[in-house]
């Protein structure tokens, strides 16, 4: 196996070399492991080459950034997160429907204030970057202005997002109940102005919250609008909680099952993304596959709200496309390290390898949103969305860990990883987050504190 994506690059334009230990998924089971590696990034923020530094060291670069033994990995892809819920993370007290009423709806109503929306958007995008997430699929709230503010904040910060204004026009508190015509017009306008901006760094997703808070007429209209914006996305929730599923059956008695509600309203297909999808029938799984729809598996959220367990091997066998989502605030943390760990812990019998979990948190997410040609791994021709990771920045980690084989390091990342391990986050070759320099690495910090 060769780890080079092609030969050392021809010298066109300005090239920056990032040296470090390159770890990047190839597929579910395998990954590139180049201990003294390099990724070469061109002036457009695309990866020009990946390989061993010894094959490149005689080449001229505009800059060489040497991260030593620290890891260079693709940034995380979080397929499902709620910007407007960030302040409610960790508020536990009920299962889905009660939790929405008690904690979430009052919080989302605050986004009618543009000052509030601005403050929260700034906080949200900084946090995403600090956690090493380089693409997130984001729900905002039912507020057009707040969603516009969120896009502006993402644009200014340099984040990559798929994002959309939430749509709810029935069974919702008054403060969050949309006038459907206004909601459609605002969604249409937001998509027209933001989808595809900066060469697809910013993308739009039509975002009906879930079937219980949508009328049949509004879902149909959203489906038609989505079809009029080629390349845009549709995101919603599906089959998360048993009471929710029973409610959907009562509300839409003529539909065969929960997914059929979305399907009959034109909301399945390529670029549709369904969060949770825990309790699906075989027919629903087959329909996801047939329509090329994708799923965001959100294990931390499923634990938090006692929603149930995602049948990961069944979904795989059925051929459903899925990656991972934090689902903040039902998921208590944005860190995809925690989400990987929870995905592993959720399976009470099946063992998921660290390599597979890394794949699920990166390349599988790119596949789920049909962007695997550009995102999800470190390969020539893809966007330079990468993170620098140093596990020894966490004081409980063996300070010698980076001397170990990649297999050990990956296992540590999955089971003890958190945001302290993120050194830098790059989107399209631009550093959008750099951690403060630790005085001394890892456990030695502890030593200096007690001395
Ligand atoms: N179903 C409908 N809305 C939500 C939400 O905000 N979070 C979760 N986890 N499930 C939902
Ligand atoms: Zn959600």
**244-283: per-residue pLDDT in tens?**
999 999 999 999 999 999 999 999 999 999 999 999 999 9
Residue 286 pLDDT > 70: yes
pLDDT bin (cut points 50, 70, 90) of residue 46 is very high
Q: Which residue has the tokens 């003890």?
A: 416
CB of 108 within 6 A of ligand 1: the answer is no
pLDDT bin (cut points 50, 70, 90) of residue 436 is confident
Mean local confidence (pLDDT), 416-432: 98
Mean local confidence (pLDDT), 212-233: 98
Hey, which of 92, 96, 106, 212 would you mutate to test ligand 1's pocket, going by the most ligand atoms within 8 Å of its Cβ? 96
pLDDT bin (cut points 50, 70, 90) of residue 42 is very high
Residue 423 pLDDT > 50: yes
Supply the pLDDT for residue 442. 44
pLDDT bin (cut points 50, 70, 90) of residue 13 is confident
Mean local confidence (pLDDT), 45-55: 98
Supply the pLDDT for residue 198. 98
Ligand 1 centroid to Cα of residue 379, in Å, is 35
393-355-23 Cα angle (round to 5): 55
* Mean confidence (pLDDT) of the chain: 94
Residue 9 pLDDT > 90: no
Q: Which residues, listed in sequence order, are joined to residue 91 by a DSSP beta bridge?
A: none
Higher pLDDT, 444 or 83: 83
Hey, which of 98, 104, 138 would you mutate to test ligand 1's pocket, going by the most ligand atoms within 8 Å of its Cβ? 104
Asked if residue 445 lies in contact with residue 438, where contact means CB atoms within 8 angstroms, the answer is yes
pLDDT bin (cut points 50, 70, 90) of residue 2 is very low
CB of 80 within 6 A of ligand 1: the answer is no
Supply the pLDDT for residue 58. 95
Residue 380 pLDDT > 70: yes
Supply the pLDDT for residue 182. 98
Mean local confidence (pLDDT), 278-296: 98
pLDDT bin (cut points 50, 70, 90) of residue 409 is very high
Residue 102 CA to residue 420 CA, distance in Å, equals 32
Percent with pLDDT over 90 in the chain: 93
**329's tokens:** 């605030």
Ligand 1 centroid to Cα of residue 116, in Å, is 21
Residue 155 CA to residue 202 CA, distance in Å, equals 7
Spell out which residues have Cβ within 5 A of ligand 2, the ion. Answer: 275, 327
Hey, which of 299, 330, 332 would you mutate to test ligand 1's pocket, going by the most ligand atoms within 8 Å of its Cβ? 330
Cis status of the peptide bond prior to 155, with omega within 30 of 0: no
- Displacement of CA 83 from its chain's centroid (Å): 12
Per-residue model confidence as pLDDT tens digits over 111-123: 999 999 999 999 9
Helices assigned H by DSSP within 195-257: 197-200, 216-227, 242-251
Atom of ligand 1 nearest to the CA of 331: 9
CB of 327 within 6 A of ligand 1: the answer is yes
10 Å CB burial of residue 181 (0-12, 13-18, 19+) is exposed
Ligand 1 centroid to Cα of residue 105, in Å, is 10
Ligand 1 centroid to Cα of residue 230, in Å, is 26
- Phi, psi for 177 (deg, rounded to 5): -85, 120
Residue 433 CA to residue 126 CA, distance in Å, equals 8
Q: How far is CA 190 from CA 73, 196, 198, 207, in A?
A: 32, 11, 15, 12
pLDDT bin (cut points 50, 70, 90) of residue 437 is confident
Percent with pLDDT over 70 in the chain: 94
**232's tokens:** 């845009």
pTM score, whole prediction: 0.95
The pairing of strands 233-238 and 202-208 is parallel
Residue 204 CA to residue 234 CA, distance in Å, equals 8
Residue 355 CA to residue 337 CA, distance in Å, equals 13
Residue 369 pLDDT > 90: yes
Per-residue model confidence as pLDDT tens digits over 126-169: 999 999 999 999 999 999 999 999 999 999 999 999 999 999 99
pLDDT bin (cut points 50, 70, 90) of residue 12 is low
Residue 233 CA to residue 270 CA, distance in Å, equals 8
CB of 321 within 6 A of ligand 1: the answer is no
Asked if residue 308 lies in contact with residue 302, where contact means CB atoms within 8 angstroms, the answer is yes
Supply the pLDDT for residue 440. 43
């Amino acid at each position: 196996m060769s780890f080079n994506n092609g030969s050392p690059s021809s010298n066109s334009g300005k090239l920056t070399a990032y040296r470090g230990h390159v770890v990047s998924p190839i597929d579910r089971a395998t990954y590139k492991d180049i201990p003294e590696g390099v990724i070469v990034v061109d002036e457009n923020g695309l990866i020009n080459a990946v390989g061993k530094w010894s094959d490149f060291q005689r080449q001229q670069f505009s800059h060489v950034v040497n991260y030593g033994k620290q890891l260079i990995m693709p940034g995380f892809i979080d397929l499902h997160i709620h910007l407007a819920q960030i302040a409610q993370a960790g508020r536990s007290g009920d299962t889905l429907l009660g939790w929405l009423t008690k904690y979430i709806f009052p919080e989302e109503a605050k986004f009618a204030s543009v000052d509030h929306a601005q403050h929260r958007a700034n906080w949200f995008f900084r946090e995403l970057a600090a956690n090493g997430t380089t693409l997130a699929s984001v729900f905002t709230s039912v507020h057009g202005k707040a969603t516009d503010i969120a896009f502006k904040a993402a644009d200014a910060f340099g984040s990559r997002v798929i994002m959309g204004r939430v749509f709810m026009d029935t069974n919702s508190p008054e403060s969050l109940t949309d006038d459907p015509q206004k909601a459609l017009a605002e969604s249409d306008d937001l998509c027209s102005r933001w989808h595809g901006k900066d060469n697809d760094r910013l993308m739009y997703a039509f975002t009906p919250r879930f079937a219980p808070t949508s009328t049949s007429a509004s879902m149909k209209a959203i489906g038609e609008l989505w079809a009029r914006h080629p390349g845009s996305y549709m995101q919603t929730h599906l089959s998360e909680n048993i009471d929710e599923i029973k409610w959907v059956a009562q509300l839409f008695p003529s539909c065969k099952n929960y997914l059929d509600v979305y399907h009959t309203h034109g909301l399945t297909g390529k670029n549709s993304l369904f969060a949770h999808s825990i309790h699906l029938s075989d027919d629903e799984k087959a329909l996801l596959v047939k329509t090329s729809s994708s799923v965001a598996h959100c294990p931390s959220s499923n634990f938090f709200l006692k929603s149930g367990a995602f049948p990961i091997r069944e979904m795989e066998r059925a051929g459903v496309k899925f990656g991972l989502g934090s689902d903040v605030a039902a998921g208590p943390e944005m860190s995809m390290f925690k989400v990987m760990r929870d995905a592993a812990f959720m399976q009470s019998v099946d063992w998921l390898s660290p390599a597979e979990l890394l794949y699920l948190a990166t390349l599988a997410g790119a596949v789920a949103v049909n962007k695997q040609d550009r995102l999800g791994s470190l390969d020539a021709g893809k966007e330079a969305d990468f993170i620098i990771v140093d596990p020894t920045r966490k004081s409980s980690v063996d300070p010698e860990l980076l001397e170990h084989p990649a297999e050990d390091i990956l296992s540590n990342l999955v089971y003890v990883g958190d945001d302290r391990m993120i050194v830098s986050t790059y989107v399209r070759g631009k550093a959008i987050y750099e951690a403060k320099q630790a005085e001394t690495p890892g456990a030695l910090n502890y030593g200096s504190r007690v001395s």
